[in-house]
């Protein structure tokens, strides 16, 4: 028997019928799900009655979700309910269109119920505090706790100032420098990986995610967790596990969607990441200040006396603009009936 608590399940007061049990989604392949439940791993589909009542794309189960299912020991189990999410990452699905021409923007959840977002950024010449700040905005919005992991510390002997720069992005932010090459800092990251804890990684390709995961797991976990399947023509294929359990008992969610996250209704999260700027704006003399030339503008004053850097102000404006763009698209598309999958 599998104890779902080992997979982060917190039993709530939801009394279930005898044949309905909780499970966690570990893979999503179009309409087919793979889930872990008390009886081990099962294949599952959405039950017709559940599917019929789905209105939004975000209500479809995603990797990491807890669900209720009717267990079937000899065939596909049926998912009957999606349990409330404590955190989630959504991707703006532009229906395959270039953003400028997209007619519909749909929210698609790509990972759910994670405790930490590991924001990965390399300490070498790619280091970019603005990018980290963008990821922070998304992390706060997800509902989980961000931890910034600065990789390849062996390539950058002098990284203290970079750590300070990142710490200045937000209050109480944990920032860890690591090297998968030398092992420096890896133990600090491992402290987060307690049994039942789920983490996701955000970061550009090549920052060293796989190397770190392999170092943490002390084995080729990415390979170990690949499973072999036979496709419908009997050909041999491998698929990549989307929720991976480490030896420590912690879990990592890694889905294709995680790699292309867009900003989703980010105003509130931007407010958290740029609280200082929003405070300044509140103090501008005119409530509709454009922060370009008005007298009594606190932004202009802060830029002039150097308490606010041009770079940070520009980064704030860029994020606002992006969030605005998505919102406009969303408003337009919600007037029409949303197309679901």
Ligand X SMILES: Nc1nc2c(ncn2[C@@H]2O[C@H](COP(=O)(O)OP(=O)(O)OP(=O)(O)O)[C@@H](O)[C@H]2O)c(=O)[nH]1
Q: Which of 43, 72, 145, 211 binds ligand X (CB under 6 A)?
A: 211
Q: Which of 180, 198, 298, 319 binds ligand X (CB under 6 A)?
A: 180
Give residues in contact with Zn ion (CB under 5 A): 284, 289, 291, 297, 299
Distance CA 97, CA 99 (A): 6
198 annotated ligand-binding residue: no
Beta pairing partners, 238:
228
127 is a contact residue toward ligand X (CB under 6 A): no
306 annotated ligand-binding residue: no
Can you spell out the DSSP letters for 8-41? T----S----TTEEEEEEEEEETTEEEEEETTEE
CB of 123 to ligand X, least distance (A): 9
315 annotated ligand-binding residue: no
Q: Which of 58, 76, 154, 219 binds ligand X (CB under 6 A)?
A: 154
Of the pair 119, 277, the CB lying nearest Zn ion is at 277
- How many residues are there in the chain? 341
Stretch that binds ligand X, among 12-20, 51-59, 146-154, 249-257 (CB under 6 A): 146-154
| Partner from Zn ion, ligand X, none contacting 206, C-beta within 5 to 8 A by type | ligand X
Cα dihedral 38→44→50→53 (10° resolution): 130
| Partner from ligand X, Zn ion, none contacting 284, C-beta within 5 to 8 A by type | Zn ion
219 is a contact residue toward ligand X (CB under 6 A): no
Distance CA 156, CA 15 (A): 54
180 annotated ligand-binding residue: no
Tokens 């889930």, located at residue = 35
Residue 112 phi/psi, 5° resolution?
-140, 155
Helices (H), the chain: 48-52, 129-142, 160-167, 186-190, 209-217, 221-224, 267-273, 275-282, 298-305, 310-335
Q: Annotated binding site for Zn(2+): which residue ranges? A: 284, 289, 291, 297
Residues within the interface to ligand X (CB under 6 A): 151-152, 154-155, 179-181, 205-211
């Amino acid at each position: 028997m599998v104890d779902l608590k080992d997979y982060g399940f917190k039993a709530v007061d939801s009394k279930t019928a005898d044949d309905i049990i909780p499970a966690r989604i570990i893979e999503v392949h179009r309409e087919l799900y793979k889930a872990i439940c008390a009886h081990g791993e099962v294949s599952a589909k959405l039950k017709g009655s559940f599917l019929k009542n789905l209105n939004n794309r975000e209500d479809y189960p995603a990797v990491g979700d807890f669900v209720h299912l009717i267990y079937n020991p000899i065939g596909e189990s049926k998912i009957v309910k999606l349990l409330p999410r404590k955190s989630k990452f959504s991707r703006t699905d532009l229906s395959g269109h270039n953003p400028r021409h997209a007619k519909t923007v749909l929210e698609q959840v790509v990972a759910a119920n994670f405790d930490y977002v590991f924001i990965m950024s390399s300490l070498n010449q790619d280091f970019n505090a603005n990018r980290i700040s963008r990821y922070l905005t998304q992390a706060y919005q997800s509902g989980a706790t961000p931890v910034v992991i600065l990789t390849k510390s062996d390539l950058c002997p002098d990284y203290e100032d970079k750590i300070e720069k990142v710490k200045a992005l937000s209050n109480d932010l944990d920032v860890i420098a690591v090297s998968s090459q030398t092992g420096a800092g890896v133990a600090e990251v491992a402290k987060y990986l307690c049994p039942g804890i789920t983490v996701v990684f955000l970061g550009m390709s090549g920052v060293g995610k796989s190397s770190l995961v392999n170092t943490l797991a002390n084995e080729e976990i990415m390979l170990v967790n690949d499973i072999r399947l036979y496709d419908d023509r009997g050909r041999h294929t491998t698929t990549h596990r989307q929720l991976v359990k480490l030896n420590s008992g912690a879990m990592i969610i890694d889905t294709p969607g995680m790699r292309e996250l867009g900003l989703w209704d980010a105003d509130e999260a931007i407010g958290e990441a740029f609280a200082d700027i929003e405070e300044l704006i509140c103090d501008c003399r005119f409530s509709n200040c454009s922060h370009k030339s008005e007298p009594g503008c606190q932004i202009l004053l802060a830029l002039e006396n150097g308490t606010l850097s041009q770079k940070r102000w520009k980064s704030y404006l860029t994020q606002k603009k992006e969030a605005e763009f998505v919102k406009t698209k969303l408003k337009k598309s919600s007037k029409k009936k949303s197309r679901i999958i």
